[in-house]
Amino acid sequence: MKFAAACLLTLLPSVASAQQWWSFESHPYYDPLIAGVREAHFSALVPAHFDRMAMMVSDDRRRTGWDIDVGAELPIFGRESADTPGKIGEGQWGWGMWIPIDFHMIEDFGDQSAPIINTDYRFSGMLKFRRGFAKQRSVAARVQFGHESTHLGDEFSIDAQRAFPRAFERINVSWQYLDMGGLYEWTVGEQTWNARLGVTMTVPFRSSYYQSGPGTVTESRIGSVTDSKNWYDPYAGLEFNRAGVLFHQTFDVYASSELRWRSVYNYHKANSNQAEERQASLNLLIGIRKTGTGRGIGRASPFFRVYHGVNPNGQFRNQKNFSEVGIGLRLVR
**pLDDT tens digit sequence for 247-293:** 777 899 999 999 999 999 999 999 999 999 999 999 999 999 998 76
CA-CA distance, 307 to 106, in Å (whole number)?
A: 14
* Per-residue confidence (pLDDT) for residue 244, from 0 to 100: 85
**For residues 12 and 4, is the Cβ–Cβ distance under 8 A?**
no
CA-CA distance, 135 to 114, in Å (whole number)?
A: 52
14 falls in which pLDDT band (50, 70, 90)?
very low
CA-CA distance, 64 to 56, in Å (whole number)?
A: 12
**pLDDT tens digit sequence for 106-152:** 999 988 888 999 999 999 999 999 999 998 999 999 999 999 999 99
**pLDDT tens digit sequence for 211-257:** 987 778 899 999 999 999 999 999 999 999 999 888 777 899 999 99
**For residues 45 and 24, is the Cβ–Cβ distance under 8 A?**
no
86 falls in which pLDDT band (50, 70, 90)?
confident
Residue 195's φ and ψ, nearest 5 degrees, are: -125, 145
7 falls in which pLDDT band (50, 70, 90)?
very low
**For residues 254 and 209, is the Cβ–Cβ distance under 8 A?**
no
* Per-residue confidence (pLDDT) for residue 113, from 0 to 100: 83
Alpha helices in 271-318 (DSSP H): none
Q: What is the mean pLDDT of residues 296-302?
A: 81
Given a cut of 80, whether residue 327 has pLDDT beyond it is yes
Which has the higher per-residue pLDDT, 19 or 232? 232
* Per-residue confidence (pLDDT) for residue 197, from 0 to 100: 98
Closest C-alpha among 23, 63, 29, 59 to residue 47: 63
Given a cut of 60, whether residue 13 has pLDDT beyond it is no
Closest C-alpha among 319, 322, 320, 315 to residue 151: 315
Whether the full predicted model's pTM is greater than 0.85, yes or no, is yes
CA-CA distance, 119 to 61, in Å (whole number)?
A: 21
The DSSP result for 158-223, as a single string, is HHHHHH-TTT-EE-EEEEEEEEEEEEEEEEETTEEEEEEEEEEEEESTT--SEE-STTSS-EESSS
**Domains of the chain and CATH, by start:** 2-332 (2.40.230.10)
The DSSP result for 300-311, as a single string, is EEEEEEEEEES-
